[in-house]
């Protein structure tokens, strides 16, 4: 039976991923390692496929949010060190040890259970301990941090490979809060030095801090959105190439008179005779309903507005008098060499961030690698 191919796809340019990795690799220098964050299916780009390209071009580490994401990478043949950034449940620890994953620890009970799992498997489990310097999410407060380090050092089967924190506002032009977090982190590190505790890897920088706060580069940087060619804000200290284009094909075209209502709730009514194109993509694919009557697409070299409410499986476009036929290619994200539509354009319309746009592209959309 031949394979069914849906006419909605995301083209992921691996050469762009490779280029972006090399840009960051050169930016941080030879004494700082690069950790590529491939959680959420590589920010929607495909974790396994992009991970191979990242490693081949200078990435030392990978990071994910969930153990199951890391296990998929291992099953796909990835042997590079993988840090699980998120909270790991007690029932996931055996798998983490078996797959040689590096576990983030910030709670004594989980540390003890991880030790038991490692001893039972006769393995040494590497951990990175996280301190909350102001993100307010995962991690111990600085006052409790050193005590946990001391505890973990005594547990059999565990090796403290790293300590780290995460910045909450490194994408802001005013770095006052980031510098405050940085000072708190430095105090934690000083407490470890006073106790004679040496940790191989100390890290803090996400993409934004890597770009805008070089003092935080330390032993490694954790780069997520930047590796996919997206920026934290309007500043461009590095030239990066967007790696994902979202495309579809026209499913239907019809000529309608002035005064024709379009889609659910009739939020758009044609002002004159016009042509409408139906695209076979909707919010079930990750095309936000918030783009209704606001977004644009590229058809035959022309920017055309999305009109009416985006539905679960379809989006309508007002072509005006533009000639278009069933099967014509449509660019939702990407460029035709003249016009460009990028994730940050949609993010601005939606009041969100560019990498939410790519992360929410659903599994109904085939990823095509080139």
Q: What's the pLDDT tens digit per position in 276-286?
A: 999 999 999 99
Q: How many helices (H) and strands (E) does the chain have?
A: 11, 20
pLDDT at 281: 98
Q: Identify the CA nearest to 129 among candidates 100, 112, 152, 109.
A: 152
| Res 1 pLDDT > 60 | no
pLDDT at 124: 98
* Strand blocks (E) in the chain: 8-12, 33-37, 61-64, 82-84, 102-105, 125-130, 158-164, 201-203, 220-223, 244-249, 252-256, 261-262, 268-269, 274-279, 296-299, 302-307, 315-320, 329-335, 340-341, 366-369
Q: Where are the alpha helices (DSSP H) in the chain?
A: 14-28, 39-43, 47-56, 67-75, 93-98, 108-120, 142-154, 176-194, 207-212, 343-350, 354-359
The helix/strand/coil state of 92 is helix
> pTM for the full model?
0.96
Q: Identify the CA nearest to 317 among candidates 334, 300, 299.
A: 299
123: enclosing H helix or E strand: none
Express each pLDDT in 14-62 by its tens digit.
Answer: 999 999 999 999 999 999 999 999 999 999 999 999 999 999 999 999 9
Question: Are the CB atoms for 300 and 319 separated by under 8 Å?
Answer: no
| Res 4 pLDDT > 70 | no
Candidates 3.40.50.1370, 3.40.220.10, 1.20.90.10, 2.40.37.10; correct CATH number of 244-369? 2.40.37.10
Length of the chain: 370
pLDDT at 111: 98
Q: Helices 108-120 & 142-154, crossing angle to 10 degrees?
A: 20
Q: Helices 47-56 & 14-28, crossing angle to 10 degrees?
A: 50
Measured distance CA(36)–CA(222) in Å, rounded: 6
Which residues are catalytic, by number?
A: 39, 264
Average pLDDT value for the chain: 97
Neighbours of 354 (CB within 10 A): 23
* Mean pLDDT of all residues in 202-229: 98
| Res 6 pLDDT > 90 | no
Measured distance CA(189)–CA(52) in Å, rounded: 33
Express each pLDDT in 256-268 by its tens digit.
Answer: 999 999 999 999 9
Task: List the CATH code of the domain at 14-228.
Answer: 3.20.20.10
Q: Identify the CA nearest to 124 among candidates 150, 161, 88, 90.
A: 161
| Res 226 pLDDT > 80 | yes
Q: How confident is the model at residue 255 (pLDDT cuts 50, 70, 90)?
A: very high
> First CA to last CA across the chain, in angstroms?
25
Q: How confident is the model at residue 3 (pLDDT cuts 50, 70, 90)?
A: low
Where in the sequence of the chain do the CATH 3.20.20.10 domains occur? 14-228
Strand 252-256 and strand 201-203: pairing? unpaired
Where in the sequence of the chain do the CATH 2.40.37.10 domains occur? 244-369
Express each pLDDT in 279-319 by its tens digit.
Answer: 999 999 999 999 999 999 999 999 999 999 999 999 999 99
What Rg value do the Cα atoms of the chain yield, rounded?
24
pLDDT at 47: 98
Q: In whole angstroms, how far apart are CA 48 and each of 123, 175, 247, 358?
A: 26, 34, 21, 16
């Amino acid at each position: 039976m031949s394979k069914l191919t849906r006419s909605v796809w995301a083209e992921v340019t691996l050469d762009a991923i490779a280029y972006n990795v090399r840009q960051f690799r050169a930016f941080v220098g030879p004494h700082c390692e690069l950790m590529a964050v491939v959680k959420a299916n590589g920010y929607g780009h495909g974790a396994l496929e992009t991970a191979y390209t990242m490693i081949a071009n200078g990435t030392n580490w990978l990071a994910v949010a969930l153990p199951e994401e890391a296990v998929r990478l291992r099953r796909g043949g990835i042997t590079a060190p993988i840090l699980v950034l998120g909270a790991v449940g007690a029932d996931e620890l055996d798998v983490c040890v078996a797959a040689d994953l590096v576990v983030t620890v910030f709670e004594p009970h989980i540390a003890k259970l991880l030790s038991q799992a490692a001893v039972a498997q006769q393995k040494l489990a590497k951990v990175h301990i996280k301190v909350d310097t102001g993100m307010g999410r995962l991690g111990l407060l600085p006052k409790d941090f050193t005590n946990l380090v001391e505890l973990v050092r005594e547990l059999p089967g565990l090796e403290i490979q790293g300590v780290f924190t995460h910045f909450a506002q490194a994408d802001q032009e005013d770095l006052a809060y980031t510098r405050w977090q940085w000072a708190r982190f430095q105090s934690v590190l000083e407490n470890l030095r006073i106790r004679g505790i040496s940790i191989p890897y100390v890290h803090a920088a996400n993409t934004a801090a890597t770009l805008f706060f070089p003092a935080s580069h330390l032993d490694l940087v954790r780069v997520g959105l930047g590796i996919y060619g997206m920026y934290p804000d309007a500043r461009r200290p590095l030239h990066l190439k967007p790696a994902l284009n979202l495309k579809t094909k026209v499913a239907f075209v019809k000529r309608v008179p002035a005064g024709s209502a379009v889609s659910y709730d009739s939020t758009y009514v044609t002002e004159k005779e016009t042509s409408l194109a139906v695209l076979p993509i909707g919010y079930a694919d990750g095309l936000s309903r918030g783009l209704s009557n606001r977004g644009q697409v590229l058809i035959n070299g022309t920017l055309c507005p999305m009109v009416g409410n985006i539905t679960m499986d379809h989006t309508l476009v007002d072509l005006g008098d533009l000639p278009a036929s069933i099967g014509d290619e449509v660019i939702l994200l990407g460029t035709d060499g003249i016009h460009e539509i990028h994730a940050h354009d949609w993010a601005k319309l939606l009041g969100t961030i560019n990498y939410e746009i790519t992360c929410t592209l659903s599994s109904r959309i085939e990823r095509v690698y080139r």
